[in-house]
Amino acid sequence: MKNFNFKTKFIILLLLVSLIPTIFVGIFSYEISKSTIYERIEIDLATQAENLMGQIDRFFYERHNDTQFIISDSTLINNNASTAQKTATLKEYLINLGLYNNIHLLNLEGDIIASTDYSETYPNVSKEDWFINTKKIFYNTSDIQFSPYTGEPTIIFSTV
């Protein structure tokens, strides 16, 4: 530094004095920004999760209402109505609701009374977990499982 004149030494000192705080401010700003962004992402994800949970709850509540509506139909609860009449009523619900692949009406013993897609392979479902669980509680929604009728992923909505 002896070879440099005062002006050069002063400029180098000024640069060092201004550069060191700038580096610290940059690092500090980066850390604050990073934590703020992470907090914002966390809040946004929590909001999205709450919205999705609300949509799922609403979906299952609407399916519960569908089952309540179907089981209150006078044709379906009439013991004197024929299987053909009950099947026709279920097919009307299948078309009108537009959400289901099949609707099956069972008695408390697990026998299929009427169905939009009756299968001789499964005339009785009394041994199925979802049926046993439904008999224990008033309303049941199964986890996604493969339908014994179609082999497709299915959620079973049932009520006693």
Q: What's the whole-number average pLDDT of the chain?
A: 83
Give kind and range of the element (H or E) at residue 140. strand 139-141
Residue 55: predicted pLDDT: 95
CA distance 50 to 27: 35
CA distance 121 to 11: 92
Residue 78: predicted pLDDT: 86
CA distance 15 to 57: 62
- The winner for highest mean pLDDT among 36-45, 70-79, 138-147 is 36-45
Question: 45 versus 69: which is more confidently predicted?
Answer: 45
Strand 153-154 relative to strand 145-146, pairing: antiparallel
Percent of the chain scored above 70 by pLDDT?
89
Question: Among 19-23, 73-77, 126-130, which stretch is predicted with the lowest mean pLDDT?
Answer: 126-130
* CA–CA–CA angle 112, 117, 118 (5° rounding): 35
Residue 1: predicted pLDDT: 54
Instruction: Taking the CA atoms of 38, 40, 45 and 46 in sequence, report the sign of the dihedral they define.
Output: positive
